[in-house]
């Protein structure tokens, strides 16, 4: 009976995924930690009030997605010769929010999920209250981005992303804009949380844990200005 229940769960997940018309963000290329780009040129402070990181996670097969936001605490972008050349920003992990619209089950509460995400099972915000992204390179986009990338992507951005105390370099297409006294970086990409050692729910051996996808979709919207 338990085996049939697991099979049914998988079938429902695959059906939900096939019915989902929204294209998931492409996976970011990952590498070991790289040398951070030297901060040259004009330094523009990140506007924490208008910057945000959106996240989206799924159960196995793409069904029952959850999504929400995380606050950008601080940071800056360096602009040299009219281009973003370096920069970094700090993410306040204790600010993680779950959008109530993503929790449709009557027996589930967004606040409970927020508490679980902040626990040692996931981001352990007591031990690691912040995450950080440090740009290692910004280059012109060599080819058209795959479907699912941020609309208007014009650059390839690489940076060291630190989550739960571990740093991995990620590379993704981004829309980078520079105007007089301002700059912005917009991107959408998917990472495998297990690369940062966040492995709760990733065991293939236990059906109770098998139901949570390793993928996290991250949408970065960082604005900086004088």
177-221 pLDDT, tens digit per residue, is 999 999 999 999 999 999 999 988 666 666 555 578 889 999 999
Is pLDDT at 8 greater than 60 in this prediction? no
pLDDT in the model for residue 146: 82
Assess contact for 189 and 28: CB atoms under 8 A: yes
Query: Percentage of the chain with pLDDT > 90?
Result: 74
Summarize pLDDT for 60-87 with one digit per residue, the tens.
Answer: 777 789 999 999 999 999 999 999 999 9
d(CA 52, CA 217): 14
d(CA 189, CA 172): 7
Q: How far is CA 130 from the centre of its chain?
A: 14
Q: How far is CA 86 from the centre of its chain?
A: 19
Shortest CA distance to 77 belongs to which of 204, 192, 177, 196?
A: 177
Q: Which two tokens stand for residue 18?
A: 């096939």
Is pLDDT at 144 greater than 90 in this prediction? no
Q: b vs e for 84-108, b when ≥16 Cβ sit within 10 Å of the residue's Cβ?
A: bbbbbbbbbbbbbbbeeebbeeeee
Q: How far is CA 87 from the centre of its chain?
A: 17
Mean pLDDT of the 152-177 span: 97
- Predicted structure pTM score: 0.85
d(CA 15, CA 102): 18
pLDDT in the model for residue 120: 93
Q: What mean pLDDT, rounded, does the chain reach?
A: 87
Which of 25 and 84 is assigned the larger pLDDT?
Answer: 84
Is pLDDT at 165 greater than 80 in this prediction? yes
Cα distances (Å, whole numbers) of residue 87 to 29, 159, 217: 19, 9, 22
To which residue do tokens 């996240």 refer?
Answer: 55
Assess contact for 217 and 69: CB atoms under 8 A: no
d(CA 64, CA 213): 11
Assess contact for 121 and 115: CB atoms under 8 A: no
Q: Which two tokens stand for residue 129?
A: 């209250």
Mean pLDDT of the 9-25 span: 43
d(CA 129, CA 100): 23
Cα-Cα end-to-end distance for the chain: 63
């Amino acid at each position: 009976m338990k085996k049939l229940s697991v099979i049914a769960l998988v079938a429902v997940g695959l059906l939900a995924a096939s019915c989902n018309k929204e294209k998931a963000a492409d996976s970011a290329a990952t590498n070991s930690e790289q040398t951070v780009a030297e901060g040259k040129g004009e330094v523009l402070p990140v506007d924490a009030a208008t910057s945000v990181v959106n996240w989206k996670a799924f159960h196995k097969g793409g069904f029952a997605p959850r999504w929400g936001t995380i606050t950008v605490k601080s940071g800056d972008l360096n602009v040299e010769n009219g281009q973003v050349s370096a920069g970094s920003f700090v993410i306040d992990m204790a600010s993680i929010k779950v959008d109530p619209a993503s929790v449709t089950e009557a027996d589930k509460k967004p606040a409970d999920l927020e508490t679980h995400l902040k626990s040692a099972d996931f981001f352990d915000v007591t031990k690691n209250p912040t995450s950080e992204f440090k740009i290692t390179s910004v280059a012109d986009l060599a080819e058209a981005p795959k479907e699912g990338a941020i609309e208007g992507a014009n650059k390839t951005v690489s940076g060291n992303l630190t989550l739960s105390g571990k740093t991995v370099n990620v590379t993704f297409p981004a829309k980078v804009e520079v105007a007089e006294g301002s700059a912005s970086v917009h991107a959408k990409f998917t990472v495998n949380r297990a690369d940062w050692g966040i492995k709760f729910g990733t065991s293939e051996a236990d059906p109770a844990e098998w139901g949570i996808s390793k993928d996290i979709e991250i949408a970065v919207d960082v604005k900086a200005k004088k």
